[in-house]
Amino acid sequence: MQVPKRFLFGVCVLGLALGRVLPAWTEEAQEEKAPLDSAGGIFFVGHQASQTLEESVVPEQDYPAYAQTALEQAFERFAIQNRKTIAVSRELSIESIDAWCSAEGVRWGIIVMTGFQEDLFSWHFAIYDGEQHFFRGYDFFSVHVRPGVFSSPVIDRSVQKLVQNWHDSLSSRGFNGKFAVTQGQRFTGTQDGVRVLFGSQDHFLEGGTIQDGVLTSPFYPFTEGFPLYGKLVKDRYWPRSFVLPQGISPETVALPRLQRKVRHSIGFGYEFRGDLFACLDVEYRFHILPDRLFVKAEWGIWKDTTQLSQGVGAQHQEYRFGLGVYIQPSNDAAFRLYGGTGLSLVTASGAFITLADPLWLGLEYHFPHWAVKLEFRIPEILGYARDIYEPDTTGFSSYGLLGVLLKW
């Protein structure tokens, strides 16, 4: 039986095609299966300097360079060689670390992120396993920069902690016994310009700044499922602590509003004087200690037919001066109790009357830029008809005032 020439020609063409395609498939398969070099690593190095760093606190030593060198030397002891150093920003993601490790054929991605905030040097160390696709260790800390003092022991201890965590985790897919998250946290807030810091006291990591009401923090390999503490800060506002009970999570977190540090305030009120006509009231406060201690000047106008005007309806103007103090537990509390004392001068129908303000108490509820207030005062006559100066509270009762405060 003779084989058709067309069939033979088709077999030849198919053989040639497979001869060209199969080697490429084989090489690609081999490349995919090729393990990453466990003796090789990439250093991802980033540094962010604060714009508020003053000349007086410019470090005499190169802190970022020391941190990188200390890590390189630590990993050299474990025969991990630095194949490449890549300059990165704080937007470094787990996907980009993984891609670089794969492209370079190395297993370990070693991250060194440092920064200055005023006189505070902070760092974030981490090591990523490009083969298992998770973090095996991380550490973050910060120290105050002092002239003539180089805090190398603190950095060395942080490096040792990172390397030890990494070494202890090599036997299992663990991260200090737990897994690390692989994403940042999304926040929403009503105040733009609020900075989010992760950590406590001076030991923090930058989480970013609220802009247009939203923020997605940079990726840090925090322990999954563990509480994460932080702080919200903004210039001229009181800082506020917060906690994420389950650490970084996929849910969006709504941030609370910060209270403004008050130096000045102006108030408008309506004062009720028992059987007297109501009094329109304006006051100005200057806070010697923001949201704690203040002095105030106040002006009011009313009309009455009582003892002060000897039964004749007369218009009165009152000028009050006083010293007050807030006694709420924290400076930025929304609900506040305050009290004070002072002196009052009243003019009516040519008479000049001096009143003591021995005690006034108030309740306020504060928002970031304004507050509502309810105040009670107990005045006492010291002068009457210009020539009599003796205590006389006949016909007087406590006064109540309801109003608002505008703060800045």
Contact in structure between 378 and 400 (CB atoms under 8 Å): no
Contact in structure between 144 and 127 (CB atoms under 8 Å): no
Sheet architecture: strand order including 37-48: 81-87, 37-48, 106-117, 120-129, 134-144
Contact in structure between 338 and 318 (CB atoms under 8 Å): no
Q: How far is CA 325 from CA 64, 285, 337, in A?
A: 46, 11, 9
Q: What is the DSSP letter of 330?
A: S
Please choose, from the candidates 231, 215, 202, 230, the residue with its C-alpha nearest in 3D space to the C-alpha of residue 332: 231
> What pLDDT, on a 0 to 100 scale, did the predictor assign at position 339?
96
Contact in structure between 139 and 120 (CB atoms under 8 Å): no
> What pLDDT, on a 0 to 100 scale, did the predictor assign at position 27?
47
> What pLDDT, on a 0 to 100 scale, did the predictor assign at position 367?
95
Q: Please provide the CATH number assigned to the domain covering 264-407.
A: 2.40.160.20
356-383: pLDDT as tens digits:
888 999 999 999 999 999 999 888 766 5
> What pLDDT, on a 0 to 100 scale, did the predictor assign at position 298?
95
> What pLDDT, on a 0 to 100 scale, did the predictor assign at position 63?
82
Q: What is the pTM of this model?
A: 0.67
Dist. CA 278–CA 303, nearest whole Å: 8
Strand boundaries in 16-170, DSSP class E: 37-48, 81-87, 106-117, 120-129, 134-144
- Both tokens assigned to 45: 């190095």
- Degrees, nearest 5: CA angle 47-52-56: 100
> What pLDDT, on a 0 to 100 scale, did the predictor assign at position 194?
96
Q: What is the DSSP letter of 181?
A: P
Dist. CA 127–CA 125, nearest whole Å: 7
> What pLDDT, on a 0 to 100 scale, did the predictor assign at position 385?
45
Residues of the chain with pLDDT under 50: 8, 11, 13-14, 18, 21-22, 25-31, 33, 56, 173-174, 309, 385-393, 395
For the chain, domain boundaries: 37-168, 186-254, 264-407
Half-sphere exposure of 79 (CA within 13 A, CB side): 3
- Between helices 152-168 and 63-76, what is the axis angle to 10°? 40
Q: Please provide the CATH number assigned to the domain covering 37-168.
A: 3.40.50
Dist. CA 361–CA 380, nearest whole Å: 15
Please choose, from the candidates 242, 190, 245, 188, the residue with its C-alpha nearest in 3D space to the C-alpha of residue 222: 245
